[in-house]
Structure 1
């Protein structure tokens, strides 16, 4: 029997299947969900477009004292050229007039009518002091943002400053979510002792919403019945990505794999060396438009479903959106308590961190939603790791980073 793929191997295989990006233009006048640039973005103008003052004070020319001949304000520059011995009042962000050699800040200035001098004990500023040089941020023709860069408030502001009113981004993929199992009841319905509310489908849609908005369809809960599964799958025929939860394990009532095969899907791999999350499945299905549909089958236990969605579903959606770096990034913290040794599978423990150290959030059972809700990170424990003492370094994935 061949070894199960590692986390990195499984992620690589999944991301290699990500839908090919489709480009659309996004206007920048209104905020939207997260997106990624489909092309490099070149500056259409320089910033600043002229030398600007970095301080309130006086733009001076030559040695002092200086005669004040005008003012330069942000949005209303002085129109003339300074001769030696002249100055203008200037505000932060205002254009430095031609002929000025530096800015004498107002705290170091002494003014008598239209005559300016340095305050007692102060020296004239050296040439170029307190200038924001033209083009110091970027120049026309510079690449200011690279393909695959995420849209953020800062990158959008940079693009607007560089002269753009719209950006080419990767169009969001269409995504459907399906949760299945005889034990599931619809959200809000009464649950008998042998039943549980179907939380996974909604949970997954909330995880994906920052990237794609609302998912195109939440299909389920669907019973472990071939006809019901076939009907649900037909409703997902045209989506780019289908994320399922439950029904892909080894039980005789776990029917998703068979249903996918009957639907025309081909399993790429099934099972990964993870805890929780071993029964993860990846499949593809050809569509009439010639594009492959990607099917990601997650475990049914809610914690397992959450952890594998964090490690696989979110990276898949980010890759489909054109992200240059779709995988989550780990940080290193100190263990705030002793952590047990691991066995053959890589383990992701639910944790709570304080910025420098991390502790377990509570029960590590794969059905414990209370501990999951309390967690703000996943503690990454490699296979066959010895017990870890409090204070030792450990890798952590912050859940807020997605």
Structure 2
């Protein structure tokens, strides 16, 4: 039997199986969370002309120190139609078009106006164009604004609109089916006998998948039988990704692998040298990919963050599908690491990270109170408080 794969090798093998999904053009307002399949290129210049960045008076620098005669107004959306002559000024609003001939905006706080007469009472701007948003200050027509693979958040959507786009090219939403299996799972958490546990993984994994723009269907809990699992796989329909939870280990009732074989799926790899989550498996049947996660809820969550979410980001066209570690400082000492790379649940406060006391793979309380995974290499030496360690932020919240 092949030894467990190192994490990075297993991730690379999984992502290599991901075939690109079809590209579609969607309205900008419907593209939240999607990933660009092509660079975002400006179709207009922003600003398209010089505008004022302040409320005040537009004037000519050469007319300092005044006084001036106010000859009109330029408001946002309503520009002044004429041009400035010697000793003239125009009342101007933030965002309004600069009048022809003006090269300075004097803030209204630095001037006193009586009728149409304006006098300097404060300090002129330095440099004189300080309060002017120059044409193309933000971007020019034809400039590349975002690279392909960028995730579209609120600011990126606003940028696309400002750049003149009504539609954006993105990959279609992956269709994901989540299957949790096991005779020990109780469908109703309010009526759970002692020999069972509430079926929480399906909800957890579906919620995690929904942090990305995916179509999610839940099946289960499914009984520990080949027939029940075969029916579940058949009911997965045209899913791009099938996610199972439970039944991937080596026990007599761990039937995911034989059920996949009967369904006609080909196993790509099984077991990764990490803790928690060693028995993870990846298989495929035609264009469908299967990610088999362990049944223990913490193991299921950790492996979903390290494998399932990167796979979905890859299918969606993300430029950087894998999670990236940040550096945090240990709030307290850690003992030496074990024989596998371990991901400890902890809480990161923005600078320091605290490992949870309960690291059992079934401890949902500790998981729900965590927002980070502390990455401990196999055989890591003991680490003192204050040691810098790599940390992966969890998609879920966590409490201090």
Scaled by the length of structure 2, the TM-score of the pair is 0.94
1:305 aligns with 2:300: yes
- The 3-state SS of whatever aligns with 2:334 is coil
How far apart, CA to CA, are the structure 2 residues paired with 1:316 and 1:353? 25
Match of 2:218 in 1: 218
| Offset at residue 283 of structure 1 (A) | 0.8
| Offset at residue 213 of structure 1 (A) | 5.1
Match of 2:78 in 1: 76
Contact 2:39 / 2:144 at 8 angstroms: preserved in 1? yes
1:242 aligns with 2:242: yes
| Offset at residue 63 of structure 1 (A) | 1.5
Aligned length: 394
- The 3-state SS of whatever aligns with 1:205 is helix
| Offset at residue 111 of structure 1 (A) | 2.6
Contact 2:265 / 2:283 at 8 angstroms: preserved in 1? yes
| Offset at residue 87 of structure 1 (A) | 1.1
Describe how 1:2-401 pairs up with structure 2 within 5 A. Answer: 2-29=2-29, 34-61=33-60, 62-64=62-64, 65=66, 66-119=68-121, 122-123=123-124, 125-188=126-189, 190-212=191-213, 215=216, 217-286=217-286, 292-400=287-395
Q: Residues 401 and 54 from structure 1, CA distance in 2 versus in 1: closer, same or farther, beyond 3 angstroms?
A: farther
- The 3-state SS of whatever aligns with 1:168 is strand
| Offset at residue 370 of structure 1 (A) | 0.9
How far apart, CA to CA, are the structure 1 residues paired with 2:396 and 2:313? 12
Contact 1:51 / 1:134 at 8 angstroms: preserved in 2? yes
How far apart, CA to CA, are the structure 2 residues paired with 1:29 and 1:301? 39
Contact 1:118 / 1:124 at 8 angstroms: preserved in 2? no
How far apart, CA to CA, are the structure 1 residues paired with 2:297 and 2:188? 14
- The 3-state SS of whatever aligns with 1:8 is helix
- The 3-state SS of whatever aligns with 2:63 is coil
| Offset at residue 25 of structure 1 (A) | 1.9
How far apart, CA to CA, are the structure 2 residues paired with 1:283 and 1:242? 10
| Offset at residue 229 of structure 1 (A) | 1.0
- The 3-state SS of whatever aligns with 1:211 is coil
Contact 1:104 / 1:125 at 8 angstroms: preserved in 2? no
| Offset at residue 208 of structure 1 (A) | 0.7
Q: Residues 149 and 187 from structure 1, CA distance in 2 versus in 1: closer, same or farther, beyond 3 angstroms?
A: farther
How far apart, CA to CA, are the structure 1 residues paired with 2:124 and 2:256? 80
Match of 1:289 in 2: none
Unaligned runs of 5+ in 1: 287-291
- The 3-state SS of whatever aligns with 1:78 is coil
- The 3-state SS of whatever aligns with 2:282 is strand
Q: Residues 33 and 90 from structure 1, CA distance in 2 versus in 1: closer, same or farther, beyond 3 angstroms?
A: closer
Contact 2:178 / 2:219 at 8 angstroms: preserved in 1? yes
Scaled by the length of structure 1, the TM-score of the pair is 0.94
How far apart, CA to CA, are the structure 2 residues paired with 1:60 and 1:27? 42
Once the two structures are overlaid, the 10-residue window that deviates more, 105-114 or 242-251, is 105-114
